[in-house]
Amino acid sequence: MGQRYKDLFEAKETYTEAELKFEKARRTAGLFIGPIFFLFFLLFSPFSLTPEANRLVAVLALVLTFWITEAIPIPATALLGPTLMVVLGIGGVREVFAPFADPVIWLFLGSFVLAEGMFVHGLNQRVAYGILSIKKIGSNASRILFGFGAITCFLSMWLSNTATTAMLYPIGMSILVTLSGMVSQRKQQGVDIHHLRYGTALMLMVAYASSIGGIGTPVGSPPNLIAIGQLNKFVNIKIPFFQWMMIALPIMGIMFLVLFYYLKKACPPEIEEIPSSREFIEEEKRKLGKWTRGEKNCLFAFLFTVTLWITPGFLAIICGTDSPVYSAYQKLLPEGIAALLGAGLLFILPLNWKERQFTISWSTAVNIDWGTILLFGGGLSLGEFMFKTKLAYAIGNGLISLTGVNSWWTITALFALVSIIVTETTSNTAAATMVCPLAIASAQAAGVNPIAPAIASALGASMAFMLPISTPPNAIVYGSGCVPITQMIRHGFVLDVISYIVVTGGVLLMCSLFGLR
CB 185 within 8 A of CB 270: no
CA dihedral 216, 217, 221, 223 (to 10 degrees): 100
For residue 276, the model assigns a pLDDT of: 66
Q: Which of 247, 302, 216, 213 is nearest to 516 (CA)?
A: 247
For residue 80, the model assigns a pLDDT of: 94
- 140 strand-pairing partners: 273
- 273 strand-pairing partners: 140
For residue 172, the model assigns a pLDDT of: 79
For residue 274, the model assigns a pLDDT of: 67
- 358 strand-pairing partners: 350
Residue 361: how many CB atoms within 10 A of its CB? 12
Q: Which of 447, 455, 457 is nearest to 510 (CA)?
A: 455
Query: Would you list the domain boundaries of the chain?
Result: 23-91, 99-121+291-369
Longest dimension (CA), the chain: 74
Give me the phi and psi of 301, to 5 degrees please. -65, -40
Q: Tell me the per-residue pLDDT of 38-59, one tens digit each, with 9 for 90 and over.
A: 999 999 887 788 899 999 999 9
User: What one-character-per-residue DSSP string does 264-308 give?
Assistant: HHHS--S-SB-HHHHHHHHHHHHHT-SPPHHHHHHHHHHHHHHHH
Cβ partners under 8 Å of residue 224, min gap 6: 214, 215, 217, 218, 244, 248, 458
User: What one-character-per-residue DSSP string does 193-246 give?
Assistant: GGG-HHHHHHHHHHHHHHHHHTTSSTTSSHHHHHHHHHHHHHH-----HHHHHH
For residue 192, the model assigns a pLDDT of: 56
CB 460 within 8 A of CB 423: yes
For residue 56, the model assigns a pLDDT of: 93
Give me the phi and psi of 352, to 5 degrees please. -145, 100
Q: Tell me the per-residue pLDDT of 332-373, one tens digit each, with 9 for 90 and over.
A: 888 889 889 999 999 999 998 888 899 999 998 888 878 878
- 357 strand-pairing partners: 352
Residue 11: how many CB atoms within 10 A of its CB? 10
**Angle subtended at Cα 439 by Cα 89 and Cα 382, rounded to the nearest 5 degrees:** 20
pLDDT in tens, the chain (517 residues): 343 334 333 434 445 676 678 778 888 999 999 999 999 999 988 778 889 999 999 999 999 898 888 888 888 988 999 999 999 999 999 999 998 888 878 887 888 888 888 888 888 778 777 777 777 776 788 888 998 899 899 988 987 787 788 778 777 777 777 666 665 555 544 455 666 788 889 899 999 999 999 999 988 888 998 899 889 888 889 898 889 999 999 999 999 999 999 999 998 887 777 666 677 777 878 888 889 999 999 999 988 988 888 888 788 778 876 788 888 888 888 888 988 999 999 999 999 888 889 999 999 888 887 887 888 788 888 888 888 888 888 887 887 888 888 899 999 999 999 999 888 877 788 788 888 988 998 898 888 999 999 999 999 999 989 877 677 788 778 877 788 888 888 999 999 999 999 999 999 999 999 888 8
For residue 185, the model assigns a pLDDT of: 55
For residue 473, the model assigns a pLDDT of: 85
Residue 288: burial class (beta carbons within 10 Å; 0-12, 13-18, 19+): middle
Whole-angstrom distance, CA of residue 462 vs CA of residue 472: 12
